[in-house]
């Protein structure tokens, strides 16, 4: 991550400030990944509750990164201040990335992401249950 290098190379903040978030589908569409169409199709066919959890985590990460870059750019090239300011947001970003990785690879035990539950037609309290699932990841 560019932000991790910022204390040692403050000029990297210019590149970080140019970054804009992309949806999962847009990320793959713009990538050189050989099976990008398959990745996009898999996302489109993932259980709705699982996509909601994934998208909520991704949006939370996007907001964190945008806010952090904005804050750090204001510090100029003060490497010590940049390092201090980045400590907590980078930890939170790593936690969110780990949670996203867990959703992508099916490593998070979330009933709301279970295809079997969706097939049964069980109703999931979408916003409340999803937020509770996300909050549980950080407890």
Angle, CA 130 vertex, CA 91 and CA 60 arms, to 5°: 35
Report which secondary-structure segment, H or E, holds 8: none
Gyration radius (Cα) of the chain, Å: 17
Q: Are 72 and 86 in contact (CB under 8 A)?
A: yes
Q: Pick left, alpha or beta for residue 121 (phi over 0 → left; psi -120 to 50 → alpha; otherwise beta).
A: left
pLDDT at 139: 54
Could you give the dihedral angle defined by the CA atoms of residues 123, 24, 54 and 126, in that order, rounded to the nearest 10 degrees? Answer: -30
Q: What is the pLDDT along the chain (139 residues), one digit of tens a residue?
A: 678 888 888 888 888 889 899 999 999 999 999 999 998 998 999 888 889 999 999 999 999 999 999 999 998 888 999 999 999 999 999 999 999 998 888 777 665 665 544 444 444 343 344 555 555 555 5
pLDDT at 112: 61
Angle, CA 59 vertex, CA 37 and CA 74 arms, to 5°: 120
Neighbours of 74 (CB within 10 A): 10
Tell me the C-alpha distance between 54 and 133, whole Å.
Answer: 11
pLDDT at 94: 94
């Amino acid at each position: 991550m560019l932000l991790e290098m910022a204390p040692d190379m403050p000029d990297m903040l210019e590149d970080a400030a140019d970054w804009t978030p992309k949806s999962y589908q847009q990320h793959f569409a713009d990538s050189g990944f050989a099976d990008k169409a398959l990745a996009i199709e898999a996302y489109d066919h993932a259980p709705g509750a699982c996509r909601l959890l994934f998208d909520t985590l991704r949006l939370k990460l996007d907001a964190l990164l945008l806010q952090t870059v904005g804050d750090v750019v204001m510090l100029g090239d003060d490497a010590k201040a940049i390092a201090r300011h980045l400590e907590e947001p980078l930890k939170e970003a790593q936690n969110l990335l780990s949670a996203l990785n867990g959703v992508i690879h099916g490593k998070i035990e979330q009933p709301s992401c279970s295809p079997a539950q969706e097939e049964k037609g069980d109703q999931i309290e979408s916003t409340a249950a999803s937020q509770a699932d996300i909050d549980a990841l950080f407890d």
